[in-house]
Structure 1
């Protein structure tokens, strides 16, 4: 995960170090291909009743579901990296934040796919845990690359 220092809003918008840490940690965990990484989301980042939406049909509600959110990661994905390009806030102090950037996926067989993404983060408690996260991206190129990788495996 990479994030230039100048992506954060400046005064009069205030983004606390706590909120910055939670967002950056979210993307560090997101870059993992480990099936257990969902547990880190749940334990470190989300409120007990937090909601994590990765796609309209993939909504995880509460820590138990969020902990299992990565158990079915596609084994054809061998690397993931997010590059943050901008952070925008709906309020100050920043408790409702939109992040945009590029998501890079390495697929078995050597193909790399780059997709733009946006992600909304809503802080859910005084400790800075996330009450809501929603991610938007166009998965068309990723689906095509995964289809090619699957063909390459003879499946």
Structure 2
């Protein structure tokens, strides 16, 4: 099993083994320094007309996504992503289907200046298999939300909630040990439930 997902709590039965494997492949390639990582992401992970939004920019289609790893190692010597939770809702349309997922995880990064840190992230993913020829799933849309130096934990939560469809929010926790937020929303694929947990002080 991949190091990316070996400790993942999958909270939706609709997430198939193929989808889990595709998610693992995406992050393994993102963590890899192989020269063809961008090309493999574009051809093995994303669909031809996919959109990928990350801190490096927005990439549309195979040609742009194939270049998304350019400069990825200019200030970073290593990355290691792990997914802690995965939630999904699936919409079936005849012989095709679309699955919308929310992924929560963390990444450990070591920098060229010798420093290292762990950062939480969330990702919104729409995965589909829309043709009879292509039965294996591919990612049609992926947007990553992560904490950087400009975001506090509280601002990170707000940034996530602005982008995900929200119907109801309940929160628990305190300023000493962190806060857990349960979001019940509605998406194009149906009802979607997910939790955002931020550890540490929110002072």
In the TM superposition, what whole-angstrom CA distance separates every residue of 1:36-81 from its partner, at most 9, and x where no partner exists? 31111001011110000003x7110001000001112242211000
More helix by share: 1
Q: CA RMSD in A?
A: 2.1
Q: Distance in 1 between matches of 2:36 and 2:113?
A: 24
Partner residue, 1:111: 115
Which of 1 and 2 has greater Rg? 2
Equivalent residues of 2:108, 2:117 under 8 A apart:
yes
Structure 1 residue 95: Cα displacement: 0.9
Q: Distance in 2 between matches of 1:92 and 1:20?
A: 17
Q: Which structure would you say has the larger RCO, counting Cα contacts within 8 Å and 6 or more residues apart?
A: 1
TM-score after normalising by structure 1 = 0.79
Question: Quick one: structure 1 residues 123 and 72, their matched pair in 2 at CA, closer, same or farther if it must change by over 3 Å?
Answer: same
Question: Quick one: structure 1 residues 6 and 60, their matched pair in 2 at CA, closer, same or farther if it must change by over 3 Å?
Answer: closer
Structure 2: 5+ residue stretches without partners: 93-97, 131-135, 151-203
TM-score after normalising by structure 2 = 0.62
Structure 1: 5+ residue stretches without partners: 142-155
Equivalent residues of 1:100, 1:118 under 8 A apart:
yes
